[in-house]
Structure 1
């Protein structure tokens, strides 16, 4: 039996079901999303909008199903969904991959951190972060004030779900090897910010949403 791991809350559970569609991560424009505001560099922290905060922030490695689960979760809750990778793309008029290639990862990480800070301050629905957003110390500090769902996934499942998706700039070449490197480096950071953790390995997206809703008490 796989169990949800969380901070200061009861553990969720649920037996995995096989033979269904995996909770694969889908990179597409999400419905009913906030219109992002342009990020500016360098940025100054802004005070939170009174009474506004995400219902839940979704984090996890590539292949965990963050985008798909965030969209389904928002539909179930009747709230808006927002994805900070899409915010960066809308703000800059470039894809994440193009920003990595033309301007480098450090520039993207600054843009990402600014987009995350803005979304945490203004969004009141479900918020999905890019897989590397937790590497920013300031972002981790801000997430300490929010409910964070960590969608975990094993290497084999993540590699199968990601497949040959060349749109992920940090997974060029040996996808399995690059995934292992990223996951080993980031898992402690996901655990640091997580309010609770859902093992998505053998769950469908809808089953993952059920687990998240149970942890949220919905």
Structure 2
């Protein structure tokens, strides 16, 4: 994983997918650059230091944690970050004839695929949108139809751990960056000293979260 300097007031942890991991569902290099530029523009370090007081020194637990994982394997642990992004590749059945080779079944770790005489069937409830089946299919019967980013909010460890909650749908890169900016801005504006972003979200009612696009 790649880790940013936490003295900036935020940390971006990225998996190897930004460098070309063969398991990645989406290339995360562009999103990583966009997140870094947008969050640096908010100058979070100065605002965090102001909350800590004159003798305040930013420590690792004071910074806002962003995680970027380019596939559902989640090597950068997006489920326990303040905000996490997971790359997703939606797969569809095409009109190309199926060879009945079973390569897609071997590639799918979730048992989300079955084969019949007409070709593959995909169970969307089981599919994690990793795209491995489409990569393995030699005939093109399965193909990636759409890619994007799943968003996870409010994960944390520590004394009161909790897994992040996933927002519905998939985000584009620009939407993911905009969401991260809203979340960090909210954290800087409203978080109490030492409060994790997940705890802050728990203090907001559903109307407030909906207004901020966090539900």
TM-score (norm 2): 0.29
| Bigger helix fraction | 1
Greater Rg by CA = 2
TM-score (norm 1): 0.29
